A and B are shown apart, each in its own frame.
Chain A
């Protein structure tokens, strides 16, 4: 269950990262960046 959870969070993290790469508007990138911080913290630190 733990691995499935981490896979889901990893998938969403990559998606947000991919969105930032594709997006041309700086402010939309910045907004997605804020969301990415939460996903990165969840992916790496939540036990």
Chain B
């Protein structure tokens, strides 16, 4: 029955399915995070909202506790898994810091489902590598939104839990879903779990780490809830002293569902969001590649900068990941410093944080643990 050509075709189908399937399944694997000695305990987001347990929305929380009482701070990376400086900064914190005072909760993969796929039709690489002295550490490059395998279909119009009307795809955007809904979509349940974490751990300050395209006006910025204007202004001054220009953007009161709005409104905590410029998810970029993610060089952005179309300077040297992570780390340090200045009883004593200057000079690999070989 099976003649030679059928046998050949079935063999090819099996071979192509195997190799394509292997690449596809690799997207679901979580790369290892190797915490430093400062880690006190590990929790899951589902510890704060048990219905999330066993779902694609559950994710790890790395907890650092100091010996002295102080403030409680939440740092969120990976709300948008196509913005690598946000979650690489969170991972760098996890692998390096110790706490002398207060408590720090770091969530490096806030939208865990978003890390299991890529944005359709973007041709983005599945992962990118950072060289360490002992070898290359690889990290997933995911999608801005929850995987449609885990949440489908998108509505035509998404109405956020606080009533904002947005395009349908935003139903899978974690940073439009706050304060979440306990019986909502997966993304809304993740947002609700983050809010539960904030409430149950009595978080004082939340820092959400993001990136934006160079042609997007909210960039190299600290976006702040109006209850955090003093904090953001103090942080900005400290950053200017270090040579980092950040603009201050007040969170618009009529733009709902975002962390810097709803964390402050629904939980009453101080809330800031830090943005760095990422050419790899901009619309003007050329060919997407791991090198574009890490080195941040793109000739089309150089041309756009020459035409005055961008909101950040963009030269042939690009804006590398190490510079974007350095900006995030400087931003975190400055915001924590401002908190201790404004409310000394809520200070968080962070030790071992690599300085932005060291990250710029030595590269990210010097501060990441070696890969598991």
Contacts and interface: CB of A to CB of B under 8 A. Distances in A.
A45 B18 CA distance: 11
Main secondary structure of the interface of B (DSSP, over half): helix
A33 to B, nearest CB: 4
Nearest to B2: A21
Contacts of A20: 6, 9-10
A17 B2 CA distance: 11
B6 A21 contact: yes
A42 B24 CA distance: 11
Interface string B1-43: 1100110011011001100110011000000000000000000
B24 A41 contact: yes
Contacts of B5: 26, 29
Contact of B149 (A30, A41, A47): A47
A21 B1 CA distance: 7
Interface residues of A, number: 16
A36 B149 CA distance: 21
Contact of A37 (B6, B20, B25): B20
B20 A41 contact: yes
Contacts of B10: 17, 20, 33
A24 to B, nearest CB: 8
Contacts of B16: 37
Chain A CB count within 10 A is highest, among B12, B25, B150, for B12
A46 interface: yes
Contacts of B12: 33
A40 B25 CA distance: 14
Contacts of A44: 17, 21
Nearest to A36: B13
Nearest to A26: B5
A30 B25 contact: no
A36 B9 CA distance: 10
A44 B18 CA distance: 11
Given A37-B17, A47-B149, A29 B6 contact: yes
Contact of B9 (A29, A41, A46): A29
Contacts of B17: 37, 40-41, 44
A33 B7 CA distance: 11
Contact of B13 (A21, A37, A47): A37
A45 B9 contact: no
Contacts of B20: 37, 41
Contacts of B1: 21
Contacts of A29: 5-6, 9
Nearest to B24: A45
Interface of A: 17, 20-21, 26, 29-30, 32-33, 36-37, 40-41, 44-47
26 contacts: A17-B10, A20-B6, A20-B9, A20-B10, A21-B6, A29-B5, A30-B9, A33-B9, A33-B10, A33-B12, A33-B13, A37-B13, A37-B17, A37-B20, A40-B13, A40-B17, A41-B20, A41-B21, A41-B24, A44-B17, A44-B21, A45-B24, A45-B25, A46-B149, A47-B149, A47-B150
